[in-house]
Structure 1
Amino acid sequence: MQLSDYDDFPVILPIVVEDELFLYPFMISPIFLSDQKDIDAATDAMENNSLLFVTSSVPGKEGSRDFDAMYRVGVVGSIMRKVHIPDGRVKILFQGLARGQIIEPAEGEFNRAVIDIVKQDGYDQLKVDALMGVLRDKIKILSSLSSHFPADLVRTIEENDEPNRIADLVSSMLKLDKEVAYALYIEPDIEKRLLGLIDVVTSEIESAKVQREIRTKVHTKIEQTNKEYFLKEQLKEIQHELGMDTQREEEIAAFREKVEALKPHLTEDAYKEISKQLDRLARMHPDSADANVLQSYLEWVLEVPFGKLTKKNLSVKEVANELDKDHYSLEKPKERIIEFFSVRELAELRGVKQKETGGVILCFAGPPGVGKTSLANSIATALGRPLVRIALGGLEDVNELRGHRRTYVGAMPGRLVQGLIEAKSMDPVIVLDEIDKVGRSMRGDPTAALLEILDPEQNSKYRDYYLNFNIDLSKAIFIATANDVGRIPAPLRDRMEFIGLNSYTPKEKFEIAKRYLIPQELKKHALKRREFSISDKALKILIDEYTREAGVRNLRRRIAGLMRKSARMLLEDSTKDHITITKKNLEHFVDKKVFEISLVDKKPQVGVVSGLAWTAVGGDVLTIEAIKIKGKGMLQLTGSLGDVMKESVRIAHSVVKILIDEKKLKISPSCIPHTAKEREERISVDPSEVYKRYDLHIHVPEGATPKDGPSAGITMVTAIASILSNQKVDNRVAMTGEVTLTGKVLPIGGLKEKLIAAYKAGVTKALIPQKNYERDLDDIPSEVKNNIKIIGVSNVDDVLSEVFVK
């Protein structure tokens, strides 16, 4: 391709600025374009079949595309090929044709200018030939010293007589600084340019000689090292043949040195045990099986971080700040954690030992996803201590905690000692995760080992079966987590103080999503804040209708799903630079709805009552249905009810019978089925006959789901009373509470979760036991109390006076 194929110069050409390469007219080089102005300039050259002017950016101004940030002299050439790269850049294959210079800028959306070809000054042929001869000789010398100048290049320089072409070739191979390269490139006097190149090549020759000398010395030294290694290996082999192997002695000596270094931090028993096993190893034949066992033992033991503690002092303020930064709401749990560490800090300041303060083991109890483990992470971060997580879920073998005795093949220390080794500190924060799911089998009861671990009076002398000596766990901070406190054995429960983490309200979930989940997931999915947004209404729908949980784990998964789809849309459609999720388009980003809690019935019905229940994933509203069938007073129960709930139904049946007998529950004559004779003779029937002439069928829907618990008493009473008296129950009322045979309402647990569920289901009036009303109402979120009328009831008379539609 020739310049003559294009318009005469000077001519207006698009300009591309190269930040890294320094191009010469003879070069064919790939150029990667990321700046939009450069991309537009290259596109314009391709579309108009014009030449392109490529110049370099001024050092220190890389990235700028202003005319002040580019050199005035560059290369005029053509684009041979243009390719779009998936990362957004454009690659062009540029062929340089001639040296050009900017005469004056031209207007346009991208860089354009009037370009003219740089004409070279005349020269004295004899002087130039002489200089080229000197340069060729220097290049030959440099080529023999450096691999940068291959034989083909030397041959090209030898065969070419064009001085400017030779100067460009040599300059391109020398890898000069941009300023030096530009100074030589724009030099119009070829004699001065060749002299400058000769100086540069001479300097390169001296540098290459020094480098070669250094490489020679290094190579000689490496050869000497290899020779020494070879001789040493020969010597070892000779000593081994003669029974004089010293490697084992060196290993034992290294073990002894480590043991002596640890002696100040070891108890007397520990030092004796380690020294005893080390002496045994020294006496044993190296090929015996016991020698390998003892060597493994010593390697494990010497990795335990005896005496190593974190240097950071305990600060309650830092703990409080970290908890507030990482967790929204959870005010009572955070307050209790701060109180716990306040006692420890005060004890440290006054030099009181932990044993004397009666250390308490905290256990975070609550449904999945409410932040139990993340609270422990925040505590470890605030204290500046390493975090060790020990998953106890399904653990059945006590040796997993205690360590295996060394008589077993593959024996190793227990999880606690391994945790200390991993933490490289004797005072980490140890999280005993899922402590309520520890199993029990013929291999022992791990909860018995946990009794010692979690007892501040005993864990200072905790014995690991593998180590066979006591180690001090008292400096570690133990934090347990559990979903169901009732599944933890009573002796183990006695060692811990439980901090309840209850369900989040929809408002709390909304704030957590805005403050934590969305920013965290944006980072995980490589999205920028300006590229993704979700409206408040859409987020609330996502919380209310697409997740079923007490915590926010599924909500996080839903948000992650939205971001995955958004990332795909941004990649597939380059015109989009922002994805907004609103109430209208939310259904295009998520799958089917999963209603967390069924809404209450739209209208009052006879025998249909809403009861409040506690589940492992928070509260729920259970609809209890009752029907009556002509019969003899029999009671039929369905709905996969547990023994406790079956007893509640029987008690409720008896209580309603008493209410009818005492005429506290009015029965209309029309509610009582009459025999043909009674109708014919118009015989009045006693109201108490109603429960003798009807069989009752009590059902709790979703029969495949097991249900049990001591809080359905007043709900069952209401359902039975409603169906027998034919009175409709207010559909906006829900209730919880156990009942006695005398009609008293007993307190229940899980009130917060139950009332949150009632609020989500659209309940406007909730009946709860009077004792719960007096002592637990402060724990209920204000948004629940503001939207539900909460009434405390002491007996079934109070209940029935509130539930029927009047």
Structure 2
Amino acid sequence: MKLSNYGEFPADIPVIAEDELFLYPFMISPLFLSDEVNIKAATKAIEDNSLVIICPTKPAHEGERDYDALYDAGVVGSIMRKVSLPDGRVKVLFQGLARAKSLYKVSDDPTIAHVDVIQATEVNSLKIDAILEVVREKVRALAAVSNYFPPDLLRTIEENHDHNRIIDLICSTIKLKKEQAYKLFIETDTEKRFLDLIDLLIDEIEANKLQREIRSKVHTHIEKVNKEYFLKEQLKQIQKELGTDTSREEEIEEYRKKLEAKKKKMGEDAYKEISKQLERFSRMHPDSSDASMTQTYLDWALDLPFGALSKKPLRIETVEEQLNKDHFSLKKPKERIVEYFAVKELLELRGVSAKKSAGAILCFSGPPGVGKTSLANSIATALKRPLIRIALGGLEDVNELRGHRRTYVGAMPGRITQGLIDAKKMNPVIVLDEIDKVTRSQRGDPTAALLEILDPEQNSEFRDYYLNFDLDLGNVIFIATANDVGRIPAPLRDRMEFITLSSYTPQEKFEIARRYLLPQELKKHGLKKSELTISKSALKELIHSYTREAGVRNLRRRIAEMARKAAMEILKHSDISKVSVTLKNIKSFFDKSVFEIEKTDKVPVVGVVNGLAWTAVGGDVLKIESIRIKGKGNLQLTGSLGDVMKESARIAMSVVKTLVDKRKLKISQDNIPLTFKEKEEIIEVDPSEIYKRYDLHVHVPDGATPKDGPSAGIAMVTVISSILGSYKVRSDIAMTGEVSLTGDVLPIGGLKEKLIAAYKADMTKALIPAKNYERDLDDIPKEVKEALEIVPVKRVEEVLKQVLV
């Protein structure tokens, strides 16, 4: 079939859009038409016995059938056959005849365009033959590195002399992008078509060479891996047949040697359990999951340091020396620690075993930053034993301590067992940090496990669920730390002996900062001693106005902040070799001061009393305020007070009423609100009317902070007495003490912290219960006793005599 059999060109013919193929004139191709526009165009061509033009869609417009979405070039040809398919599509057999260009759209539905045939320009036959030879050479080269050209197609290219036909054949064979194919397709200059095709062939040759090289390398690697795998498998089978597969037997034998080496030092139940698991492991298939789990168990169990003990003899001189070297002050705690180890040393010298000499577990209690954990570090250093720190804060899963059952995925021994493995000794120092913060949940009660761990009568047979045999923890030195002893369950408290670390006085903080904190922070920040200095007055101001704590943790942070700024100054300014912090420039190093305790103003005031309180971060001065309002004798309490403190206020109210009734607290007639009749008749009113005709409101400031405890009892009595009798209260006196309903002053706790708080607030006098004066005064720092007049009181009458003006 020839183009000349149809009408002359240019002509108006239907347009069919093709998404996938870029057709060429010599091709006979089946096309599947699914959209109405294409089907209508094919139907019209058949009905009119006319040609059609197949135009490819542009890459960004595939699926669209608008005229603008198509390339303006395509193949003109005839539809040889049309068949309707059951799925609604139409299959046509199309024969291409010539390249053509679509000049403009004539009509829609179906799309008809004005089309003209693309005519090739005349060529220089000699030159074009030379170029054709180059093209054939490149085709042969591409055929050598790819499978694009079968032998019959190569032969066609070699024997054909129609230049444009050769170009179309090659273009239809190699994988060209639509844009590349379009540029070659539309070109009328045959020479340029050949030259552009040569460039494309060269690129294709290089790409195929690279792909072939990569495939070759991958294939070689796969062959090598497969070869090694098959050889190894063959070797295994051969060794099995010959009975010489020794790798697994060697591994099992290694475990047996380890077990036998530790047999004498481990308990009988431990030896039986590990032996049993080792026998199971030897019978298992090496690739099974149980084998992997059992091998992990053997690794953990045989890593335990059975019988390995630190041999350094215990000497209390060494312990005392190390404690004094690492810590300033803390006289009482250090004495108690030395006594604890003195007993152990004496029993060792007299040949008593560690199990028989087991005493109470030490627990360091006190506010944050006072040195609880660092005391444990010093003990470990002095004893030359490894230190294991187990943080218990927020622990709620008992399996963390006891270990997980081996039936669970990812099972592991408990923290105690892991600590022994890490320490490589069976007598380390184990610090149980924040034991007061252990919580109970649905996953068990960790405090119950701690009962066994810390009880000297039981911990020689501590059973880890993972190991499934008993461990002897009798040689371990356990030291617990806690902020609030009251939060520790009573049975656990019973196993421990508490050494309380109280708040530091400003003078103690000064010495600690000078001797320890400043040198340590200079070293951490790469500063020499001469490069950063702080005057005594500046250091005291730093402690007094820029920290708010019982310990020295924030003080350390402030010194570190100062060291960072000094380091920056030295690096920025080459002429600065030394930074000095004085009272004048200290504000340039820190953003703002934090006043720990409000200073007293020394002016007596009605209805305001200074109480002393104990908090988790040290002592504090608690102002208690009261006002009276005409009413019926009601008492209102505010300031986030707990139940005990509210009861204390009610008791104080009753005590004051008793004092008024017995005339021990004088009430002026001027203070009692009178009725009109009483004023007219000048009647003297009974003093007891004072508490019947007023409502009292008692408030403890800092209302967002919860407060509780009975020790504000005498302060409550004082503030109620002051407001009812209009007596002024000396503002330079602070007080603490529980009050009974009969007016007795009862002893309280936390006296040291409370008196330190009074000292920091520049109080001149402190009233305390007489029993505390007799019992606890030796614990009070010397500087506090020298600065404060500490007065013991037994009755509330004594308190009122001291403070009411």
Same fold per TM (> 0.5)? yes
Over aligned residue pairs, what C-alpha RMSD do you find? 1.5
Measured after TM superposition, the shift of residue 621 of structure 1 is: 0.3
Q: Does 1:239 align with 2:229?
A: no
**Counterpart in 2 of 1:743?**
743
Measured after TM superposition, the shift of residue 598 of structure 1 is: 1.1
**1:722-776 CA distance string (max 9 Å, x none):** 0000000001000001111111111000000000000000111100011001100
**Counterpart in 2 of 1:140?**
none
**1:423-466 CA distance string (max 9 Å, x none):** 11111000000011110011111111111111111111110000
Q: Does 1:791 align with 2:791?
A: yes
| 1:631 and 1:694 in contact (8 A); partners too | yes
Deviates more, 1:790-799 or 1:516-525: 790-799
Q: Does 1:447 align with 2:447?
A: yes
Cα distance in 2 between the residues matched to 1:387 and 1:553: 22
| 2:358 and 2:474 in contact (8 A); partners too | no
Equivalence map 1:40-439=2 (5 Å): 236-242=232-238, 244=240, 245-439=245-439
Paired residues in the alignment total: 576
Report SS of the residue matched to 2:557. helix
**Counterpart in 2 of 1:618?**
618
| 2:399 and 2:414 in contact (8 A); partners too | yes
| 2:396 and 2:438 in contact (8 A); partners too | yes
Measured after TM superposition, the shift of residue 238 of structure 1 is: 2.7
Report SS of the residue matched to 2:356. helix
**Counterpart in 1 of 2:514?**
514
**1:235–1:659 distance in 2 versus 1, CA, 3 Å:** same
**Counterpart in 2 of 1:538?**
538
| 1:619 and 1:756 in contact (8 A); partners too | yes
Report SS of the residue matched to 1:665. coil
**Counterpart in 2 of 1:164?**
none
Cα distance in 2 between the residues matched to 1:572 and 1:598: 39
**Counterpart in 1 of 2:463?**
463
**1:508–1:342 distance in 2 versus 1, CA, 3 Å:** same
**Counterpart in 2 of 1:97?**
none
Q: Which runs of 4+ in 1 moved over 3 A?
A: 230-237
Cα distance in 1 between the residues matched to 2:780 and 2:714: 21
| 1:600 and 1:610 in contact (8 A); partners too | no
Cα distance in 2 between the residues matched to 1:651 and 1:750: 22
Amino acid of the residue matched to residue 433 of structure 1? D
Cα distance in 2 between the residues matched to 1:233 and 1:267: 45
**Counterpart in 1 of 2:629?**
629
Report SS of the residue matched to 2:609. strand
Amino acid of the residue matched to residue 481 of structure 1? T
Cα distance in 1 between the residues matched to 2:423 and 2:227: 42
**1:111-130 CA distance string (max 9 Å, x none):** xxxxxxxxxxxxxxxxxxxx
**Counterpart in 2 of 1:678?**
678
**Counterpart in 2 of 1:477?**
477
**1:253–1:768 distance in 2 versus 1, CA, 3 Å:** same
Amino acid of the residue matched to residue 612 of structure 2? L
**1:465-494 CA distance string (max 9 Å, x none):** 000000111111100101111111111111
Measured after TM superposition, the shift of residue 710 of structure 1 is: 1.7
Cα distance in 1 between the residues matched to 2:792 and 2:592: 39
Cα distance in 2 between the residues matched to 1:272 and 1:322: 43
Report SS of the residue matched to 2:766. strand
Amino acid of the residue matched to residue 600 of structure 1? T
**Counterpart in 2 of 1:705?**
705
**Counterpart in 2 of 1:204?**
none
Cα distance in 1 between the residues matched to 2:358 and 2:744: 40
**Counterpart in 2 of 1:730?**
730
**1:235–1:259 distance in 2 versus 1, CA, 3 Å:** farther
**Counterpart in 1 of 2:4?**
none
**1:627-665 CA distance string (max 9 Å, x none):** 000111011111111111111111100100000000000
Measured after TM superposition, the shift of residue 599 of structure 1 is: 1.3
Amino acid of the residue matched to residue 639 of structure 1? G
Structure 1 unaligned segments of length 5 or more: list them.
1-229
Report SS of the residue matched to 1:356. coil
Cα distance in 2 between the residues matched to 1:231 and 1:380: 57
**Counterpart in 2 of 1:552?**
552
Report SS of the residue matched to 2:688. helix
Cα distance in 1 between the residues matched to 2:230 and 2:477: 53
Measured after TM superposition, the shift of residue 390 of structure 1 is: 0.4
Report SS of the residue matched to 1:265. coil
Amino acid of the residue matched to residue 303 of structure 1? D
Equivalence map 1:482-501=2 (5 Å): 482-501=482-501
Report SS of the residue matched to 2:444. coil
Report SS of the residue matched to 1:251. helix
| 2:739 and 2:746 in contact (8 A); partners too | yes
Cα distance in 2 between the residues matched to 1:532 and 1:231: 69
Measured after TM superposition, the shift of residue 231 of structure 1 is: 13
**Counterpart in 2 of 1:593?**
593
| 1:600 and 1:732 in contact (8 A); partners too | yes
Measured after TM superposition, the shift of residue 233 of structure 1 is: 9.4
Amino acid of the residue matched to residue 790 of structure 1? I
Amino acid of the residue matched to residue 418 of structure 1? Q
Amino acid of the residue matched to residue 246 of structure 1? T
| 1:637 and 1:646 in contact (8 A); partners too | yes
Cα distance in 1 between the residues matched to 2:276 and 2:418: 22
**1:420–1:597 distance in 2 versus 1, CA, 3 Å:** same
| 2:597 and 2:757 in contact (8 A); partners too | yes
Deviates more, 1:305-314 or 1:712-721: 305-314
**1:776-795 CA distance string (max 9 Å, x none):** 00000010000111011111
Amino acid of the residue matched to residue 428 of structure 1? P
TM-score normalised according to structure 2 size:
0.71
Equivalence map 1:749-760=2 (5 Å): 749-760=749-760
Amino acid of the residue matched to residue 401 of structure 1? L
| 1:565 and 1:589 in contact (8 A); partners too | yes
Q: Percent identical across equivalent pairs?
A: 71
Cα distance in 1 between the residues matched to 2:692 and 2:494: 49
Amino acid of the residue matched to residue 760 of structure 1? K
Amino acid of the residue matched to residue 736 of structure 1? T
**1:6-40 CA distance string (max 9 Å, x none):** xxxxxxxxxxxxxxxxxxxxxxxxxxxxxxxxxxx
Deviates more, 1:351-360 or 1:393-402: 351-360
Amino acid of the residue matched to residue 518 of structure 2? I
Measured after TM superposition, the shift of residue 612 of structure 1 is: 0.1
| 2:355 and 2:475 in contact (8 A); partners too | no
Cα distance in 2 between the residues matched to 1:243 and 1:761: 86
| 1:453 and 1:462 in contact (8 A); partners too | yes
Deviates more, 1:585-594 or 1:670-679: 670-679
**1:398-427 CA distance string (max 9 Å, x none):** 100000010111000000000001111111
Measured after TM superposition, the shift of residue 355 of structure 1 is: 3.0
Measured after TM superposition, the shift of residue 324 of structure 1 is: 0.4
| 2:606 and 2:728 in contact (8 A); partners too | yes
Cα distance in 1 between the residues matched to 2:230 and 2:574: 67
Equivalence map 1:771-790=2 (5 Å): 771-790=771-790
Cα distance in 1 between the residues matched to 2:512 and 2:485: 26
| 2:602 and 2:730 in contact (8 A); partners too | no
Measured after TM superposition, the shift of residue 601 of structure 1 is: 3.5
| 1:531 and 1:577 in contact (8 A); partners too | yes
| 2:734 and 2:758 in contact (8 A); partners too | yes
Structure 2 unaligned segments of length 5 or more: list them.
1-225
Equivalence map 1:576-587=2 (5 Å): 576-587=576-587
Cα distance in 1 between the residues matched to 2:534 and 2:234: 76
TM-score normalised according to structure 1 size:
0.70
Amino acid of the residue matched to residue 746 of structure 2? L
